[in-house]
Amino acid sequence: MTKQHSQAWWHYGHVWLMISGPLVVVIASFVTAYIAFRAPDPVIDDYYRKGIEINKTLSGQAAALVPAIQARNHAATSRSP
C-alpha cells in the first residue's frame, strides 16, 4: 500500500470557496452595522401635526383645481354638473 501525501487544509481551493461565502456575509453585516450606527435616521418630532399640515396644504390645492376637475368629469361623462 502506498502512503498518500496530504497537505494542510488551507492549501485546498475548495475549502476557501466554502469559507468565502459566509465570510463575505459577516463582513457585509459589520459594514452595514457601522453605517447604521454612524448616521442613524433622524426621528421626526411631531409627525402627526406635520401630517395634518400637509393634508391641509393638499386640500387647499385641491380646491383650486375644482373647475378643472369638473371640466374633466364633464368631458368624460358628457353630463352637466
Looking at the 3D structure of the chain, how many domains does it have? 1
Range of the domain at 40: 9-77
Residue 45 is assigned to a structural domain of this protein: yes
Average pLDDT of span 68-76: 71
- Residue of higher predicted confidence among 62 and 80: 62
49-63 pLDDT tens trace: 888 888 777 766 666
CA-to-CA dists, residue 8 to 15, 18, 20, 32, 49, angstroms: 11, 16, 18, 34, 66
Residue 31 is assigned to a structural domain of this protein: yes
Residue 4 is assigned to a structural domain of this protein: no
Q: How much is the pTM? A: 0.46
CA-to-CA dists, residue 70 to 3, 14, 75, angstroms: 93, 70, 9
Residue 23 is assigned to a structural domain of this protein: yes
Residue 1 is assigned to a structural domain of this protein: no
Written as one letter, the residue type at 18 is M
Residue 17 is assigned to a structural domain of this protein: yes
In the structure, what pLDDT confidence band is assigned to residue 44 with cuts at 50, 70 and 90?
low
In the structure, what pLDDT confidence band is assigned to residue 80 with cuts at 50, 70 and 90?
low
